[in-house]
Structure formats: structure tokens, C-alpha cells
Structure 1
Amino acid sequence: MKKILVVLTNTTRYKGTNGATGLWLGEATEFVDIIHQAGYQVDYVSPKGGFVPIDPRSMKYVNKNIMESYETGDFQKRALCNSLCPQQINPDDYIAIYYTGGHGVMWDFPNNYELQNIAQKIYNNNGFITSVCHGIAGIFNIKDNNGKYIIDGHNVTGFTRSEEMLAGKLKIVPFLNQEIAEKRGAIFKKHRAYKEFVVQDRQIITGQNPFSAKAVAEMLISNLRK
């Protein structure tokens, strides 16, 4: 059975500041829990490989399940301490790729061509490209074999301007997800701030915010079982 590749950030701070950021913990653990329950295995990759920081703000929103997953030796070793680097990945091993969020991804996901090539190959093998929250930043610059942005003409979602405002990060982030998605020809969908919302358009599944990670996983599993 093919696996699912989970993409994590290596960025430790908001660029130009001393503010700490990193992976939004629940966006990884809640997704992976659903994937494991369905009988699929995951690998963890990051742009540089190795250490993955956790956004300290995400620790304020943990629950029992998130903490239990966080405390497992497998997650701490394979995701947080020893994530794979792109050169170690064979795209043929995966049926889907999932881009987690946390503000850090806005700096190290968009222009990582190695990860884009991996995602493109998974997509070309009839696999799925998925993301949640700021993870959509990893999808923006993926192109198909004809050089067209893969989200062009697709319905997508991601962390919204209103959510950035409520998070107090509107003046810090390097771009707004909706603006970039629409520049790439996508149709950006959104619901109420911080409410679960997922969009699927063909082989692309995207979630709006941290509270959508489970729903992205469930939608992916539903497709894989067809």
C-alpha cells in the first residue's frame, strides 16, 4: 500500500522579527491520526530535513488526542527531530502529499522546487495534493507538465485575511493566501473564520484553518477508498 507524505516547516521565526513560529502541531497530529486509523502509513519531510520547530501558539490549542500523538516516540523522532529531506523521497511510494501549516511555511514552502517536483509526480500518478491552513503556500507554485499552475481553474481554500487579522499577523505575513491563489488562477473559497471548511476539486483537497485538518484527512481517505 502506498503511503502519504506529510510536509513540515523548518522555519523557526517570523522573518525580520524575534517572534517564534513553526509547525502548527494539531495540523500534523490530527491529520495523521485519521490516516493511521484508516490503515495508511506516513512519512515526514521538510525543505531542509531534520529539525522541525513547533509554533508555540499552537500549544495553546491542544487537546488530549493532540498531546498523546505529540508524546509518541515515533512522532518526536521521525517528524520533529529527523524529518526526511526531499532528496530522500521517491514520489512513486506515495498516493498523496499533505502540506501542514503554521506561519513558518510561508517562507520555506513556496519556492522549494524539490518539493514541488515531488508533488507534481504524485499528482501525475493520479495521487492527491492536499493542504490545510497556511500549507496552501506549498501548492501555489506547483505546475503541471505544460507549465500551467496546478491550481489554475481549481476551487481551493486556506487561511484567510480575516483570520490573519484575528491572529494579529496581518502586518507580519509576506503575502495573503487568497491574493496569491487568485493570481495563479484559482477560485478561492472561504467560510467563517476559524470554522472547519474543506474544498475538494478533482485531485486537490484544501482546508481553511487549523480546525480543518481532520476533515481534510477524512476527505482524502474517502477518495482513496473509492
Structure 2
Amino acid sequence: MSKGKVVVLGSNATRIETRGGYWGATGQYLNETVVPAMALIDAGYEVVMATPDGTPPTIDKASDAPAHFGGDVAAYQRAKDFYANDPSMKGRTLASILEGIAGYDGVFIPGGQAPIVDLMQDQQVGEILRHFHAHQKPTAMLCHGPISAIAALPYAREFRAALIAGDPDKAEDWAKGWQYAGYRMTVFEKAEEQVIEDTILHAKIYFDMPFALGLAGAVVDTGPDFEPYVIEDRELITGQNPRSDHPIAKALVAALDRKVGHA
């Protein structure tokens, strides 16, 4: 019998705007999606993947390698098999989650740069996050995943548009009323982002994650580049980078166990 149910909010984005009017290929990171999902299932929780259009996320090619599993080829293959074949990863719409949202005990949002494109400005993501905040249900976000917290803003789309337009003052005006203002959180750090821009995108994105979250009212704290780092503040659990996959999984399972009475 399941201990409870956790929704994984995935992105459908496959490209991201970059400076100069270009687009770069993007997606969701394999390890960031699968490692926590498998940990949740192993701990006795039911996992449900949901995306804006109901189809599974595209895995970012940059993450499709054993290097993101500590060089463990067997672990990498298990992850690929899980993502391709496990029923939990098949995907359903965000609207279907909202219809039965009271039945979900936790939410997890993995990274890759894809959430910058769609999840951070998706109104249904905002509705989901407002529910979890109001009921203090465990809410975990990894790497670029924490930028999805912006969706809970009343004017998330306008906030994002102002950032892309290079108008932080206007963005700050649009950020009023954010439910996570004053929360401590971590996210993919600017120096880490630069590595991705230089070696994978070969272009610059319009804004960095700590700046955006700080502008909205978060207290952003980051650890050493590409080292595991997780912060818990009230119901919110955030991890800084891909290597934080196992620590955030452990923290989320523990928070769920406390919340649903299985500690």
C-alpha cells in the first residue's frame, strides 16, 4: 500500500531564448528527474509525472551520460530504463493534477534549463504551488527547478518578460505578493550557469537564477560550484545543481514521512 502520492512537474520546453535573438536546445536533466523519483518509489510513495501538455519531458542531451551518475554505467542504464519504461514517467496534464490536487502529498520539480522557458510562467504550475504552500505540503525543486517557484506570482509572465527586456525595476514591481518572499532557497549558481553557456549552449541566457529569485524576494544562498547543496525552509526544499540529486531525494522523503506520519 502506498504511503502517499507525489507529483513530479516536468517541462515540455525543448529550446531556450538566448541573447542575440537565438535559441538553444534544452530539456530536462535525466538524473535530476529519475534519482528522486526512484528514491520516492523505493520509500513507498506513488509518483506521477505531469507536464503542461501531458507528454513526457524531453531529456537534455547534456545529461544523457554516465558522468551524471558518478560514472556508474549500470546506474545510468537503470535510470534510462526507468525513464523510458516506468509507468510513473508517462505523463499527464497539469489540469488533471489540479482536478485531484487534494490527493497529492508532495511535489517535486527537477531541472535542466527547460523550466526557465515554460514552468516559471505557467499559470497551472502557479495554482499547484499555491495549494502546496497553503497546506504546507513538502515542495522540492532541484537545480533550475526552483525558478518554477516564480509561477506562484500573480504576474509571473510579466515578471519573466521584464527580466528578458532587461528591466529589473519593472520585474520587481511585478513580483509583489509572492508566497515565497523571505524563504531561504538555493538554485543553479551564476558561475555554474556560465559553464553551461560556454560549453553547451555557446550563448548567454537572459538572466541568471539567483538574481531572478532574489529580485522576487527570496533569500538565495548557494554553496560551492557543482557540489551537493540543499536548503530546507518550511515546506520548501531546494537543491543547487545536478549533484544535489541524492541529497534532495533524501530530504524530500524525510519531509514526506514527517508530514504523512511515517517518520
Kept in 1: contact 2:34–2:82 (CA 8 A): no
Kept in 2: contact 1:49–1:84 (CA 8 A): yes
- Please tell me whether Structure 1 or Structure 2 has the larger radius of gyration of its CA atoms: 2
Please name the residue that 2:164 is paired with: none
Please name the residue that 1:138 is paired with: 148
Opposite residue 191 of structure 1, the aligned amino acid is G
Higher mean C-alpha displacement, 161-170 vs 6-15:
161-170
> Per-residue displacement from partner, 1:184-203 (whole Å, max 9, x unpaired)?
11110011110000000011
Q: CA RMSD in A?
A: 2.1
Q: Percent identity?
A: 23
Higher mean C-alpha displacement, 60-69 vs 19-28:
60-69
1:56-75 correspondence to structure 2 within 5 Å: 56-60=61-65, 61-63=67-69, 64-72=74-82, 75=85
Kept in 2: contact 1:154–1:187 (CA 8 A): yes
1:66-85 correspondence to structure 2 within 5 Å: 66-72=76-82, 75=85, 78-79=88-89, 82-85=90-93
Show structure 1 runs of 5+ residues with no match: none
The one of 240, 244, 258 aligned to 1:208? 240
Please name the residue that 2:226 is paired with: 194
1:51-130 correspondence to structure 2 within 5 Å: 51-60=56-65, 61-63=67-69, 64-72=74-82, 75=85, 78-79=88-89, 82-89=90-97, 90-130=100-140
Aligned length: 222
Opposite residue 153 of structure 1, the aligned amino acid is G
Show structure 2 runs of 5+ residues with no match: 155-175, 259-263
CA–CA distance in structure 2, aligned partners of residues 59 and 151 of structure 1: 32
Answering whether residue 165 of structure 2 is matched by residue 155 of structure 1, we say no
Opposite residue 126 of structure 2, the aligned amino acid is Q
3-state secondary structure, aligned to 1:97: strand
CA–CA distance in structure 2, aligned partners of residues 34 and 73 of structure 1: 13
Kept in 1: contact 2:68–2:243 (CA 8 A): no
Please name the residue that 2:169 is paired with: none
Opposite residue 140 of structure 2, the aligned amino acid is T
- TM-score norm. by structure 2 comes to 0.78
Please name the residue that 2:157 is paired with: none
Please name the residue that 2:250 is paired with: 218
CA–CA distance in structure 2, aligned partners of residues 32 and 206 of structure 1: 15
CA–CA distance in structure 2, aligned partners of residues 174 and 129 of structure 1: 26
CA–CA distance in structure 1, aligned partners of residues 86 and 26 of structure 2: 18
> Per-residue displacement from partner, 1:84-112 (whole Å, max 9, x unpaired)?
11111121121111111111111011110
Change beyond 3 A, Cα 1:5–1:51: closer
Kept in 1: contact 2:138–2:255 (CA 8 A): no
3-state secondary structure, aligned to 1:148: coil
Change beyond 3 A, Cα 1:33–1:78: closer
Kept in 2: contact 1:23–1:52 (CA 8 A): yes
Kept in 2: contact 1:164–1:170 (CA 8 A): no
